[in-house]
Chain A
């Protein structure tokens, strides 16, 4: 500091400033590359949904948009309307069973001691390591002999095997962090334990329950493997119907893009929520 003249200080500041400029320009460029790598594929698929088949084959950026693909997709060959309905039924059905059942179990596991202690928690964790193929083989046999193959109900049942443990783990993590004194207050105020659960615990745990719901929504909506095995014609969901675009008379990529866009639209609509909750859920489910 002692011999720093104003002039040399100014040069130093300028040099430093230039270095910072360079670094931050580089950083912004890098970020834009990243943005391109993740956005361009999605954008290209979305654009393809509006291209005439011959435009799909050319790689031009510019094209005349058409809605013909949507007409075709909803037509008898692809039955997109039916697929959309199936996906909706399966997803909503899964959530309607999964969330209340998991909330109740999460509360029980969070607040009561059970014989076996930690075994219950370890069991919940262990389900994450069971390969899907192991579950589906016997369930396929059972559902086949029950005549339930190719029904939305069978897909709901199978989805629960993945989602209930996840949802319990997530909601339980949230409930564990809630202080006990609120429900104790409710109980001394005269509520039964069940009423305290309904009036106090569930409303207060709502953010955790919403997180689990969104997580389960995303997983159920996107589920592919179980539906691929269990559905043929009637109960085909959107992700499985992607395969039909692939095999029918060569690859109908523009139809695939329409289906893909249909799968993505709900995700885009709730993307804010997904960002906030889905990832939080995964983190709490996995790391907590």
Chain B
């Protein structure tokens, strides 16, 4: 068990900068999720922690020790790969036992530990099978078992659930969370799925184009996005972002003006207002400040997503599931002003 620190870490592949001088601390026992679109550098960052990729600059510390140039095997980390990386020529038991075997653990000891771990991830009846005879979820469990069998300092998981079907993903997600909690091992988990990130993480690192955008708890990331990228990336459906300006504490844009409490008297050009669909309710006309004709309504089961046209913008609100409106009916949306975000239009930073 150990903390993980990245100091000014940088990775270039030829002229392409994959990770650009980033620093980060993961606390001992923490469940840290790296979240971002594909190509944002999250996997490269994880592979540098694993020792599979050597950083161009900067250093990697595990448990306070500099391991930047150590081989993967010297770091005492365990990794679960996207395609599991199971050894196809070995049985499940041999797969799980392999990390112990290369460390010279005696056979009897190995067998006992393998059985223990297999029981924990419900693989006991499958120990003699080959990976090719397992389902996707079972393979996932073998990969997990192989990672936890030797109690490493750090778990690394690279999109471990992305090859599973939706239902299994939810089950495995809970299982991973439970296991991590029980073992208390520092875990770094890479994903592009925000739900996975929000549900699993103690803290989330949002990355884009090789740069860390925000580090924080799921609540912080969700409720106080640090910039436009994080605001737009987290949340489904995505946050409404409206370009406009601030005039004496009132946000104005073509077709709407919204007085913002707590911004009294503030004047600023070129700002972006962000409000999540779930922070707006659908009201009758005139009751609120944003109104326009209905562009589309989408029934999602637990709610109805109502999109209205305001000027050239489209705004989406999460309406009551009993809401029924026809296209072009005029409605108004009323935002919860406690959860309205403002960003600088030029830098994208939160104001």
Contact = CB atoms under 8 A, between A and B. Distances in A.
B46 to A, nearest CB: 11
Given A184-B52, A185-B79, A190 B87 contact: no
Contact of B102 (A179, A181, A190, A203): A190
A188 B88 CA distance: 17
Contacts of B73: 187-192
A187 B77 CA distance: 10
B83 A204 contact: no
A172 B79 CA distance: 27
A29 B20 CA distance: 71
A58 B52 CA distance: 73
B233 interface: no
A184 B89 CA distance: 16
A203 B87 CA distance: 9
A201 B270 CA distance: 57
Given A188-B50, A188-B51, A195-B102, A182 B85 contact: yes
Interface residues of B, number: 27
B86 A182 contact: yes
B146 A189 contact: yes
A77 to B, nearest CB: 51
Main secondary structure of the interface of A (DSSP, over half): helix
B89 A188 contact: no
Contacts of A192: 71, 73
A181 B89 contact: no
A190 B103 contact: yes
Interface in B47-72: 50-52, 71-72
Name, among A182, A188, A192, A203, the residue most crowded by chain B CB atoms within 10 Å (CB to CB). A188
22 contacts: A179-B85, A182-B87, A184-B50, A184-B85, A185-B79, A185-B86, A185-B146, A186-B87, A186-B102, A187-B72, A188-B77, A188-B78, A189-B98, A189-B102, A190-B99, A190-B150, A191-B73, A191-B102, A195-B102, A199-B87, A199-B102, A203-B89
* Pairs of residues from A and B, 10 with the lowest C-beta to C-beta distance, nearest first: A185-B85, A181-B85, A189-B99, A187-B72, A181-B81, A203-B89, A188-B79, A190-B73, A190-B102, A191-B102
Interface of B: 50-52, 71-73, 75-79, 81-89, 98-99, 102-103, 146, 150, 156
Interface of A: 179, 181-182, 184-193, 195, 199-200, 203-204, 206
